[in-house]
């Protein structure tokens, strides 16, 4: 493969793939936390609507949804989405539905006594969610979110069917130009692996940090003495710290 093909097709394709992953992940995270928290709401109607969203978008193909947003929505809405944003919407909405179940499961894994302690401290529902539940649930969310983010990265290859110039589309063009499938697709596999490895390392660092903020051990078992980070004291409520009553 020549330097020109690498510079004009492959490198821009890598950048488009990174952009797609970041934008779709941001939308998916917003959807996941919004719908996931709604799945634990006290209102039965809110829980029903959140569950309906989850079931619909988990049960539909991201590729078909992408085509629907790009080809079907314009005649209905009267305006056209560019392929890039149709892909971001389809991926973000679809993977956000999977992420919502991660958030719901992590929130439900927090001990009921923690919720009761928040009520005893006269916390509002939002304060209980922000100060009690989410800080304990987020460390449990990070590993499955890491897997989901890697799946999202690989799912961005679907956008090549809309003509978006990601790394998969660039590989296709290079193959047509050089008639050498082995080299370009081997390079493409390595590119996806490097991007996925970077995501994995970043999420592991995030997991360590979230656990350290709770004072949990960050050393793996069998590695000798464990170290814990200093626990941050939450806001004082009624003269007693929430952390002191939630242990």
pLDDT (tens digit, 9 = 90+) per residue, 126-170? 888 888 889 889 999 999 999 999 999 999 999 998 888 899 999
Task: Answer whether 0.85 is exceeded by the pTM.
Answer: no
pLDDT (tens digit per residue) in 11-34: 999 999 999 999 999 999 999 999
Report d(CA 64, CA 240) in Å as an integer: 54
Positions of the chain with pLDDT lower than 50, given as ranges: 224-247
**In 59-156, where does DSSP find H-type helix?**
62-67, 73-77, 83-109, 112-120, 125-127, 134-155
Report d(CA 140, CA 210) in Å as an integer: 9
pLDDT at res. 132: 87
Four-point Cα dihedral 211, 217, 220, 223, nearest 10: 150
Report d(CA 94, CA 105) in Å as an integer: 18
pLDDT at res. 122: 79
């Amino acid at each position: 493969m020549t330097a020109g093909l690498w510079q004009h097709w492959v490198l821009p394709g890598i950048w488009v793939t990174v952009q797609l992953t970041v934008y779709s992940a941001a939308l998916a995270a917003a959807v996941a936390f919004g719908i996931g928290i709604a799945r634990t709401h006290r209102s039965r109607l809110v829980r029903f609507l959140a569950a309906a969203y989850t079931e619909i978008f988990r049960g539909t193909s991201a590729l078909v949804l992408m085509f629907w947003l790009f080809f079907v929505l314009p005649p209905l809405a009267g305006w056209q989405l560019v392929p890039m944003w149709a892909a971001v919407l389809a991926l973000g909405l679809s993977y956000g539905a999977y992420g919502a179940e991660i958030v719901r499961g992590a929130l439900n894994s927090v001990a009921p006594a923690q919720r009761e302690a928040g009520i005893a401290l006269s916390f509002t529902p939002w304060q209980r969610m922000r100060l009690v539940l989410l800080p304990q649930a987020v460390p449990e969310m990070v590993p499955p979110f890491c897997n989901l983010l890697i799946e999202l990265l690989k799912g961005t290859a679907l956008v090549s069917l809309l003509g978006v110039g990601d790394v998969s589309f660039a590989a296709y063009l290079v193959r047509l130009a050089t008639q050498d499938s082995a080299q370009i697709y081997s390079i493409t596999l390595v590119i996806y692996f490097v991007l996925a490895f970077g995501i994995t390392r970043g999420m592991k660092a995030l997991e360590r940090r979230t656990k350290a903020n709770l004072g949990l051990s960050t050393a793996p078992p069998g590695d000798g003495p464990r170290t814990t980070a200093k626990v941050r004291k939450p806001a004082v409520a009624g003269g007693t710290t929430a952390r002191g009553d939630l242990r």
